[in-house]
């Protein structure tokens, strides 16, 4: 798998440090409340697992699955919910956990969708933010790292369902997806 990467962008150690900072920020912000973490499948599963263990709060964990039509490295815009929450979020503080914010279409749709269920609040924590390609407005509470417009894999992020199990984040060689 390593041979398919042009270079490593964030090492395991860098990820660990930043995720623990994000966990501390969430612990402070939500002190005295019991938030529900909502992970967006599948890309967020590794980040979610590390982030919730860096949070020292009573909380619950849930997942949604969303498919943005279009394969390859560019998402198309249309969004479909393929797995919904398994608990009621009315009156709850919702912490959305996402792997990467790219065009913003997925999260902008999701926030609107969840807002209809009358949560107490919704805040977005994304590990990576790729602002160059933003097409829909999304208000972020916090991002782990801002990255340039390159296609990255690992730590949950895939290309064609591969590389999710890399413990670090790397940039794929362009010839892999061209």
CB of 28 to ligand IMP, least distance (A): 26
For the record, the structure tokens of 173 come out as: 């060689």
Q: Is 129 in the site for ligand IMP (CB under 6 A)?
A: no
- 56 catalytic, yes or no? no
Q: Is 101 in the site for ligand IMP (CB under 6 A)?
A: yes
Q: Is 93 in the site for ligand IMP (CB under 6 A)?
A: no
The single residue among 16, 62, 68, 117 that binds ligand IMP, judged by CB under 6 A, is 68
Name the one range near ligand IMP by CB under 6 A: 1-9, 17-25, 87-95, 151-159: 151-159
Cis bond upstream, residue 35 (ω within 30): no
Find out whether 109 and 151 touch, Cβ atoms under 8 Å: no
Q: Is 100 in the site for ligand IMP (CB under 6 A)?
A: yes
The single residue among 99, 119, 143, 170 that binds ligand IMP, judged by CB under 6 A, is 99
Find out whether 110 and 79 touch, Cβ atoms under 8 Å: yes
For the record, the structure tokens of 154 come out as: 């690992």
Q: Is 143 in the site for ligand IMP (CB under 6 A)?
A: no
Active-site residue, from 56, 62, 88, 102: 102
For the record, the structure tokens of 131 come out as: 């602002």
- What residue ranges in the chain does DSSP mark as E strands? 5-10, 36-41, 60-68, 79-83, 93-101, 121-129, 142-146, 152-153, 169-172
Distance (Å, whole) CA 152 – CA 171: 4
Q: Which active-site residues does the annotation give?
A: 102
Q: Binding residues for ligand IMP, per CB under 6 A? A: 43, 68, 75, 98-106, 151-153, 157
């Amino acid at each position: 798998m390593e041979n398919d990467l042009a270079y490593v962008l964030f090492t395991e150690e860098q990820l660990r440090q930043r995720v623990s900072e994000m966990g501390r920020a969430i612990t402070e912000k939500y002190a005295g409340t019991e938030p529900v973490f909502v992970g967006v499948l599948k890309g967020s599963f590794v980040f979610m697992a590390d982030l919730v263990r860096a949070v020292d709060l009573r909380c619950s964990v849930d997942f949604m699955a969303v498919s943005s039509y279009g394969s390859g490295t560019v998402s198309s815009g249309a969004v479909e919910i393929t797995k919904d929450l398994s608990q009621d979020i009315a009156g709850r503080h919702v912490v959305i956990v996402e792997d990467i914010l790219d065009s913003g279409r997925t999260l902008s749709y999701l926030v609107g969708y969840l807002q209809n269920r009358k949560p107490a609040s919704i805040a977005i924590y994304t590990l990576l933010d790729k602002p160059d390609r933003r097409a829909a407005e999304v208000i972020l509470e916090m991002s782990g790292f801002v990255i340039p417009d390159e296609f990255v894999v690992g730590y949950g992020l895939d290309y064609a369902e591969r590389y999710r199990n890399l413990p670090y984040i790397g940039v794929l060689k362009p010839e892999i997806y061209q």
